[in-house]
Structures are given as structure tokens and as C-alpha cells.
Amino acid sequence: MSANADPLFWKNARQHLIRYGGRFEDMIIERAQGAFVYDADGRAILDFTSGQMSSLLGHGHPEVAAVIAERARNLDHLFSGMLSRPVVDLATRLAEVTPAGLDRAMLLSTGGEANEAAIKMAKLYTGKYEVVSFSQSWHGMTGGAASATYSAGRKGYGPAAVGSFAIPAPYPYRPRFEVAGVFDWQAELDYAFDLIDRQSSGNLAAFIAEPILSSGGLIDLPLGYLRALKNKCVERGMLLILDEAQTGLGRTGTLFAFERDGVVPDILTLSKTLGAGLPLSAVLTSAEIEEACHERGFLFYTTHVSDPLPAAVGLKVLEIVQRDDLTQRARTAGHRLESGLRNLQEEFDCIGDVRGRGLFLGMEIVKDRASKKAAPELGAAITEACMKLGLSMNIVQLPGMGGVFRIAPPLTVSDDEIDLGLRLLRQAIANCA
């Protein structure tokens, strides 16, 4: 009998776990190393999602493991009113690697927590309460962050926070606004904010956005869009919050995705990649905003704010990304992966679109490219076939689009591992299409 079928394990899982969405894979993961996770039978599974889009340096990086061990022995957790060197050092380092205007940081645990804090800061600073985000956004599961999340989880929980608004995400593959057959995202954005202005009570506080919408279908904001969005915010006295949970620290080929557009947000949130798989997030903002919020009594005590252990990990992650030039590696490896996906697109008519930047790519599965009709059963079948072949892939299924694979291997992935993933993906599609 397969060790993955351990009856006591699954009995306990069924009886004692709260299910939090989707289904669990029919396997027990025992360990992970580099770009692979290993099940109870010792089978290697190539991890093309970096865990939960987080293990930026792969699993079990020896330098990160050494930092964890040292901190666990000597200084892992403190009362929230105490400070340690790793916390101050990481805040300082983040200020050094981000543009001017992102000078102060608060260190937390998760992306949802960071976005919650960012939204509270924006409301306190502006004295307003309305928050706008994209119709396919995902910013977290806590109250304010969930109210700004529109891709899932809105039904059955009662009203969202008062003043929660959404605008369409710019989606070049399925454009809503066209001029002479060309996507006119500026017209779409203008119309969207015209509707926001009509609905607003005059209390627009912030717009929160991912530079590349991940759970929303790996939608990359077109070049120029982010600047136009910042201008809309400035015109209305709103703050622009950018959520770089998945795009931060080199994954897109620049240290931060917003750098491509030359736009600096008023508040930046980091998570997932900052801890490279450990629970660490950060909120960055200007000295002016932080000073004003402090004077007005900004309060965001949490159990693990300013914890030294994850802060030390974040310092090490930043060091490795810059020392090993992993932003360049993301560009080079991303080009190899994207070229391979486009070759598959030429071979299989069910691959409607390939998009993204660096090692953060999306592949949309459709019935056929001519119709662009969604094919959820096919997407699910390909996902299952990939896992059987030893390739972990993640697909999001949303109304109005085909199933989109979010492909984000570690920045340390080798060329051979990329080629292996492409071969396994090709075999899975051929088995299902």
C-alpha cells in the first residue's frame, strides 16, 4: 500500500481539520528541497508555484535554514513594545532598496495583515473611508483586505466594509473597450472612474492594486496604466497602495514590479516573497504619512509585529537576491520558460494566451483560440494530469475567462528544471486535449 494512503492520517484529517477552500491533494508531503517537494512514497514533484507563490529561493535554502536555527536558539520573539537589531536593520534595508518616499516600514506576518494595516493608514491619513480595487483582486481574508477582494469569497458573509468599490481590471486578451480593434485601456479607466465619482460620497481614501493580478488570472497591468492610475488617485486626494505580495523581490525581473513603470506608490505592501516561505510581511510608506498617522494615534498591535526571527530571514532573503543577481536570473529563466510556453501554444489550440513577466507567468486554457470559450473541465483535467506526472501547477477559474495557470517556480530554478516542467506540461496537455 502506498504510504500516501495512510488510513489514520486521512481519518484524522477528515475529523479534525477545518477545510478552508478547494480540496486537498491525495498525498502526504514529507519534505521539500530546492524546486521539488517529496511525498510519503519519496516521489519528487516539481514545484512550479513556489509553494503558495512564496518560496522565492526554493525549499530548504541552507542559508535561510541557518538563520532560522540561530534565531530560534537566541532571539525569536519579543513583546511588541521591544525592538531588536534584525527589525531595525530590515526596515533600514528596505528603505535603501526602494525609491525615496518609502522610508519607513512596519513588519508583520501575512499579506492580508499588511494590506489591512495599509488600508487603515490610508483611511487615517486622508480622513476618508472609501477604498477602490480591481474587480478581480485578491488582497487577503481579514476584514478590510477581504472587502477589497473581489475575485472570490464575497458571498455568505454579510456586508463588506462601507465604501468598498471595484473597477474592471484591464484585460488585453478579452478587451471591453476597443478602438479600431485595439484595446483602449485609457477609455476603460476613464469610464470606470466616472462611475466611481458618481457613487462616491466624496470620501475616496485609497486605491489598492497588484501590479500583476495573480488570483485574478495573472493579468499584467499594461505599460502606462499604473501611471494613469496614480494620476487618478492624485486628482482625487487618494493614496495608491501597491500590493507586491507575489511580484516583489525580483520575481518579475526587477526588484519590484512597479519599477518598470517609474511610479512610486504612497504605500507598498510586501509579503510572500519577502519571507521566502516564512510568515513575514511589511508595510512601507513615507515619513510624512507615517508622522501624520502616528500623531493621529495609529494603532496596529499584533502578536507578531516586529518579531526578530522572520525579520532576520527577510534580511537574508534580500541579501541573497541581490548578491546572486536573482532579478537577472528571473529575466533569463523567465525568457526560457515563456519561450517554451509559446511553443506549446503553437502546438495546442487550447492555450489561448501566455502572459506575465519574468518568472511570473500565466497560461490561459480555453476550448479553442478562435472562440476563447472557457473550458473549466479541460483546465482541471490538465492540472490533475500534471500532478500525476510529477508537476505541481495551480489554476484559477473565474467567470469571464478560461482557466489560468499561475506559473511561478523559484528564482533558483535551473534550466534543466524549467525544461523538465515544460516536458511534463506538454505531456499532460497532450493526454487531455
Which residues are catalytically annotated?
A: 138, 210, 243, 246, 272, 406
How is the chain split into domains, by residue range? 3-61+326-432, 75-323
- pLDDT of 181 reads 84
CA atoms within 13 A on the CB side of 398: 22
The pLDDT of residue 202 is 97
Cα–Cα distance for residue pair 176/170, rounded to 1 Å: 8
- Per-residue pLDDT, 179: 85
Residues 6+ apart with CB under 8 A from 260: 211, 223, 252, 254, 357
Query: Which residues are within 8 A (CB) of 242 and not within 5 positions of it... i.e. 6 or more apart?
Result: 208, 209, 210, 211, 258, 265, 267, 268, 269
Question: Torsions phi, psi of 282, nearest 5?
Answer: -145, 145
pLDDT number for residue 1: 79
pLDDT at 17: 95
Domains 3-61+326-432 and 75-323 share a fold: no
Class of domain 3-61+326-432: alpha beta
323: Cα within 13 Å, side-chain hemisphere: 8
CATH code at 75-323: 3.40.640.10
Residues of the chain falling short of pLDDT 50: none
